[in-house]
């Protein structure tokens, strides 16, 4: 059994590795809001486990071993199923589920998770559009783009929104930018200025969104 701290490190390293191929010590520390020396101690511990969960390079960072990646995907499966259960069965909104799922994922059993998955009909995605790893730790291949990267005149359907900022999720819900909504980029201000978007539906108003928001919205670009 892994501790909750190790499980949280596995998720963080996996996320960073998906973005850049590597998880630097400083990036892990920033996301987990801990000091660099604390990260270094944990990485050394994870690298020394038998079997090792990561490959660790001092002063640089870490990468998951194949076994560590499978363990990370198991933790991610539990978290995303928990979020889905909280929304579908208990009426949570998408901005409420992340923190409670974080707590619950460390207090579950494999039997509970598989019964939960069956109860939910083996969902493929969680309330934020994130893929849920299957029972074998597999994820589908996806093609998606941060909204920020679309050019003026391009449109895309929202397929995923980063889950860890409840205030941003609440704001997006208030203005109707939720999963499966199609948006068009009207203008991108220079120097990292706002991105002006519009839902092509008649009567929808244009909105200028900061890059902090548009970087967290992922779309499938229209051809």
**What is the CATH architecture of 4-64?**
Orthogonal Bundle (1.10)
Asked if 43 and 61 touch (Cβ cutoff 8 Å), the reply is yes
Residues of the chain with CATH 1.10.10.10: 4-64
- The CATH H-level superfamily of 145-221 is Ferrous iron transport protein A (FeoA) (2.30.30.90)
Q: Concatenate the DSSP letters of all residues of 73-142 into one string.
A: HHHHHHHHHHHHHHHHHH---TTTHHHHHHHHHTT--HHHHHHHHHHHT--SB-TTSPBPP-TTS-----
d(CA 28, CA 212): 19
φ, ψ for residue 177 (rounded to 5)?
A: -100, 80
Residues of the chain with CATH 2.30.30.90: 145-221
* Contacts with 109 (C-beta within 8 Å, 6 or more apart), sequence order: none
> pLDDT (tens digit, 0 to 9) for every residue of the chain, 223 residues total?
789 999 999 999 999 999 899 999 999 999 999 999 999 999 999 999 999 999 999 988 999 999 999 999 999 999 999 999 999 999 999 999 999 999 999 988 999 999 999 999 999 999 999 999 999 999 988 889 999 999 999 999 999 999 989 999 999 999 999 999 999 999 999 999 999 999 877 777 899 999 999 999 999 988 6
């Amino acid at each position: 059994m892994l501790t909750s701290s190790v499980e949280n490190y596995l998720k963080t390293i996996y996320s960073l590795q998906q973005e850049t191929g590597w998880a630097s010590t400083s990036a892990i520390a920033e996301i987990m809001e801990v000091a660099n020396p604390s990260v270094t101690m944990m990485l050394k511990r994870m690298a020394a486990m038998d079997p090792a969960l990561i490959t660790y390079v001092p002063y640089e960072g870490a990468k998951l071993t194949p076994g560590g990646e499978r363990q990370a995907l198991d933790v991610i499966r539990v978290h995303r199923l928990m979020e889905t259960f909280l929304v579908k069965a208990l009426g949570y909104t998408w901005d409420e589920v992340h923190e409670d799922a974080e707590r619950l994922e460390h207090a579950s059993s494999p039997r509970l998770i598989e019964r939960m998955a069956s109860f939910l009909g083996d969902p493929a995605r969680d309330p934020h559009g994130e893929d849920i790893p299957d029972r074998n730790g597999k994820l589908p291949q996806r093609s998606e783009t941060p909204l920020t990267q679309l050019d003026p005149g391009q449109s895309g359907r929202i397929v995923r929104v980063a889950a860890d900022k409840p205030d941003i999720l609440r704001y997006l819900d208030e203005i109707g930018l939720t999963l499966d909504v199609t948006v068009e980029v009207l203008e991108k201000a220079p120097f990292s200025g706002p991105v002006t978007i519009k839902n092509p539906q008649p009567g929808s108003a244009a909105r200028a969104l900061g890059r902090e928001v548009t970087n967290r919205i992922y779309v499938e670009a229209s051809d």
